[in-house]
A and B are shown apart, each in its own frame.
Chain A
Amino acid sequence: MKTVYTHPKYLKKVPFHYCPGCGHSVIHRLIAELIDEMNIHDRVLGIPPCGCSVFAYNYLDIDMTEAAHGRGAAVATGMKRAFPEAIVFSYQGDGDLAAIGTAETIHAANRGENITVISVNNAVYGMTGGQMAPTTLLDQWTTTTPYGRDAKTAGHPVKMCELVAVLDGSVYVERTAVDSPANIRKAKKAIQKGFQVQMDNLGFSLVEVLSPCPVNWKMTPVESWEWIEKEMEKVFPLGIIKDTTGKKDAD
């Protein structure tokens, strides 16, 4: 009999603490599967963010270190430079990446650090109770935009993929989503490509994943998938934003 679905080898056998319908558990699973499939378990190092997925180290059975809020790309830089044989990825939320950690992210990308950043965009600060994130959509309700996000006072959604893509140091930037089985498969492929870019020493890769947060969005899981497709993807279009990997020779 052929096995088509099983518990990933590098996902610990503990229940997730994530809310029902949350996208983190799906993305964790994709990463765990890839670590096995790409045979990088003995040299992969992960950095979870501050936020709900800080507990990623409770689930992924790999070497992981905490980083201060927003500093994932700087910590990853230090790790990779001191131990270049490692495959280093940071797993960061939208606030982590696009608000408090914008400088670290942009400059790691600009230096062409050979690391992979996986950015989970759910348009809110999840762990702290659903405040406005840099990626919150215009008119979106959050606990700190109780009348909807108003561009005049709270600015516009920050598009990190597009920001990072204009830097010469970034080589691979893709935005994906986990709102449907087809997109989940694409997200896995994108993360795989990100790891591969790093294994080939090509430079900085960023994979953004649009991910549901039904509890803070006050939606059912099904409604939140629909909201990603109908609302988020209008502002954050899916697809490869930049790929110069074919044009660069490995060091």
Chain B
Amino acid sequence: MDGNSAIGEAAIRAGCQCYFGYPITPQNELTEYMAAHLGKRKGCTFIQAESELAAINMVFGASVVGARAMTSSSSPGISLKQEGISYLAACELPAVIVNMCRGGPGLGSIAAAQSDYFQATRGGGHGDYRTIVLAPSSVQELADFTHRAFDLADKYHTPVLILGDGMLGQMMEPVEFKHEAPEVLPVRSGALRGAKGRPSRIIKTLSSNPADVEELNWSLFRRYELIKKEEVTYETFMVDDAKLIVVAFGIAARIAKGAIKNARASGLQVGMLRPTTLWPFPSQKVRELAQNTKQFLVFELNMGQMIEDVQLALEGKGEVSFYGRPGGVVSAPNEVLRVITRLYYQKGLEK
């Protein structure tokens, strides 16, 4: 199954009731999958919206009444969705947003890139907020993380982003779905369903009193601290004796893994840290690894964005190098292997 369709099937099995989309490459397979498979399900809705703005605001509306809702797009479309994501975060509403990232800036290219790391992990829209960002690197993970995204969104009342790329979205791999679609669609408690037998409810953020908005920010901040404590996930690969650790996420991590295996075959002690949550970032794990390893190589399909989180995490207790290809150009494992090998010997790690 292709990655985009796998997200769609996983979303349906997670009880997603509403999908609102707008065509953009390279994520159209997801919109098409939902048109074919979600819209016909009882009580479920598929709409091809008039714009990304409309789509994210439809998600907002569906979330207001307590439904599990999602939208997807690719980089330029995700920029348009930022208004709605900020409102979702401010109104403490769950939602799942998929970004099959392509080369930017501007219209850019339709090939795989990771250039939206900053946008994804820093909130993305206006105001002081964060969204949970999951970074899968296989079709199986696209499916598993989609389910997790819905659960996290409901648990923390926050939008959750799945940051993939054009290659992940369109590659075909076997995938196992671990859940059956629920018979009864979940409705979140506390949603607006009419003030029957209870006082009326308001979902809002605007206040003429800045102190109210300050309190909202503190409340979000406390929740983010909890998320940072509870929800960090990552994968490590051959780090125990590593003299050099490659830090990479998503499709770049898969490329790096191939390179690392070859490096190991040549006797180089290289390992990898692959964050599967980009926010919250596994800073603690980076620090822990730095107790034994002083050399880090960050490899991204951009000009260097996650490298800042690695540097922040290390607090100067390790040396960080960078290799990246932006704009939709994807490195081959051999290219990364050359970078690893050169760095390994430059730093004298063979000694």
Binding site for B on A (CB under 8 A): 41-45, 54, 57, 60-68, 71, 74-83, 86, 103-104, 106-107, 111
| A42→B53 contact, CB < 8 A | no
Contact B201 A82 (CB under 8 A): no
In chain A, what residue has the closest Cβ to B201?
A63
Across chains A and B, which 8 residue pairs bring their CB atoms closest together, nearest first?
Answer: A78-B61, A42-B196, A78-B58, A74-B57, A82-B67, A107-B50, A71-B57, A43-B194
A residues in contact with B197, CB < 8 Å = 42
Q: A63-B193, A63-B195, A82-B17 are in contact. Are A68 and B83 (CB under 8 A)?
A: yes
Contact of B51 among A44, A63, A67, A103 (CB under 8 A): A103
Interface size class of B (residues with CB under 8 A): 35 or more
Is B47 in the interface zone, CB < 8 Å from A? Answer: yes
Q: Which residues of B contact A41 (CB under 8 A)?
A: 194-196
Cα distance, A67 to B17, chains bound together (Å) = 21
Is B50's CB under 8 angstroms from A83's CB?
no
Distance in Å from the Cβ of B125 to the closest Cβ of chain A? 10
Q: Are A66 and B58 in contact (CB under 8 A)?
A: no
Main secondary structure of the interface of A (DSSP, over half): mixed
Complex partner residue of A83 from B193, B196, B202, CB under 8 angstroms: B193
Q: Does B216 contact A (CB under 8 A)?
A: no
Nearest-CB residue, chain A, relative to B90: A66
* Interface status of B119 (Cβ within 8 A of chain A): no
A61–chain B nearest beta-carbon distance, Å: 5
Q: Say yes or no: A64 contacts B58, CB within 8 Å.
A: no
- Contacts A42-B194, A54-B206, A64-B204 aside, 11 further interface pairs with beta carbons under 8 A come to A45-B194, A71-B84, A74-B49, A75-B57, A75-B61, A77-B47, A81-B61, A83-B67, A86-B193, A86-B194, A103-B51
Judged by a CB distance under 8 angstroms, whether B35 is at the interface is no
Report if B18 contacts A (CB, 8 A). Answer: yes
Give Cα A106 to B64, complex, Å.
22
Smallest distance from the beta carbon of A128 to chain B beta carbons, Å? Answer: 14
Contact A78 to B87, CB < 8 A, known contacts A63-B194, A71-B53: no
Which residues from B are CB-within-8-Å of A43? 193-194, 196
